[in-house]
């Protein structure tokens, strides 16, 4: 019955609250158990970052890390410049794991080639002209950005900075460029809804989670807007509108 269903939902909600509270208390207890060790670590070491044993990112290949460290140290002893790309190449060569891949532009070449071929096939099959292919991205902008630093007398307990009160309110700016090189005017989105209309258009997006969500796919399908998603890790090499 409706009454039993309501009671069941209430019981389930209460159980979820109890589980959440139990989890929070457990986390707090674990932190308190580490508090003394953290305090001792802070007193013994004046460095900026404090780490407990086992904290931080786990090392995937200890032997490779050691080789890489000594390789970098040797180059710096001779005052030779060491770049990230050099470290990536050396790490790939030194790793004993065949599946290890450093993130470089070279590692993205095959994915980029496949993606460009995919775009070309879409363009030919759907007969998209260059002015109907768009690369688009969006970014948040704040109504007020007063900054978090200023000049003030030393020893002050508080340093107030005037603002409009809208430093947490933001709007969205959409940047778009056509495949023929045309840069469109920024599209500013405030809170609310608008009406858009498309026909025979191809929009290129990065693999950000909201771009590949079911809701976005359904909306693009409703607007009859074809989309192409740039492979992960390749956005900065191919997308001019990346922000």
Which tens digits make up the pLDDT trace of 216-225? 888 888 888 8
Q: What angle do CA 177, 179, 182 make, to 5 degrees?
A: 50
pLDDT band at 20 (very low <50, low <70, confident <90, very high): low
Q: Mean pLDDT: which of 35-49, 105-119, 159-173, 200-214 is highest?
A: 200-214
> HEC string of 80-129?
CCCCHHHHHHHHHHHCCCCCCCCCCCHHHHHHHHHHHHHHHHHHHHHCCC
Residue 5: its pLDDT value, please? 76
| Least confident segment among 39-53, 89-103, 126-140, 228-242 | 39-53
Residue 181: its pLDDT value, please? 87
Task: Examine the pLDDT at 229 and tell me if it is beyond 80.
Answer: yes
pLDDT per position as a tens digit, 159-169:
777 777 777 88
Task: Examine the pLDDT at 106 and tell me if it is beyond 60.
Answer: no
Which is nearest to 135 in space by CA: 173, 165, 177, 97?
A: 177
Instruction: Summarize the confidence of residues 212-237 as an average pLDDT.
Output: 84
Whether the Cβ atoms of residue 171 and residue 190 lie closer than 8 Å to each other: yes
pLDDT band at 78 (very low <50, low <70, confident <90, very high): confident
Cα distances from 197 to residues 147, 194, 241, in angstroms, run 39, 10, 21
Share of the chain above pLDDT 90, in %: 2
Residue-range domain boundaries for the chain: 62-94, 107-144+168-238
Residue 54: its pLDDT value, please? 57
Helix (H) or strand (E) holding 172: strand 170-178
Which is nearest to 204 in space by CA: 109, 140, 112?
A: 112
Whether the Cβ atoms of residue 171 and residue 143 lie closer than 8 Å to each other: yes
Residue 219: its pLDDT value, please? 85
**Comparison of pLDDT for 134 and 146, the residue scoring more:** 134
SS3 57: coil
To the question of domain 107-144+168-238 being in CATH 3.30.420.10, the answer is yes
**Comparison of pLDDT for 132 and 168, the residue scoring more:** 132
């Amino acid at each position: 019955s409706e009454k039993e269903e309501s009671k069941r939902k209430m019981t389930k909600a209460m159980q979820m609250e109890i589980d959440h509270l139990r989890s929070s208390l457990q986390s707090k207890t674990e932190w308190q158990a580490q508090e003394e060790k953290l305090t001792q670590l802070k007193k013994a070491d004046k460095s900026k970052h404090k780490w407990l044993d086992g904290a931080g990112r786990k090392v995937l290949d200890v032997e490779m890390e050691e080789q890489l460290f000594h390789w970098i140290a040797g180059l710096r002893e001779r005052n030779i410049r060491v770049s990230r790309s050099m470290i990536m190449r050396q790490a790939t060569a030194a790793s004993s794991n065949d599946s290890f891949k450093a993130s470089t532009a070279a590692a993205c070449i095959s994915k980029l080639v496949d993606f460009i071929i995919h775009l070309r096939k879409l363009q030919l099959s759907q007969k998209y002209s260059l002015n109907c292919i768009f690369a688009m991205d969006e970014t948040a902008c704040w109504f007020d950005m007063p900054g978090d630093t200023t000049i003030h007398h030393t020893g002050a307990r508080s340093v107030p900075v005037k603002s409009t009160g809208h430093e947490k309110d933001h709007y969205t700016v959409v940047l778009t460029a056509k495949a023929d090189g045309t840069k469109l005017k920024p599209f500013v989105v405030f809170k609310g809804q608008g009406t858009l209309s498309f026909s025979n258009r191809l929009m290129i997006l990065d693999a950000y989670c909201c771009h590949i969500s079911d809701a976005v796919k359904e909306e693009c399908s409703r607007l009859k807007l074809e989309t192409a998603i740039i492979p992960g890790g390749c956005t900065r090499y191919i997308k001019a509108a990346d922000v």
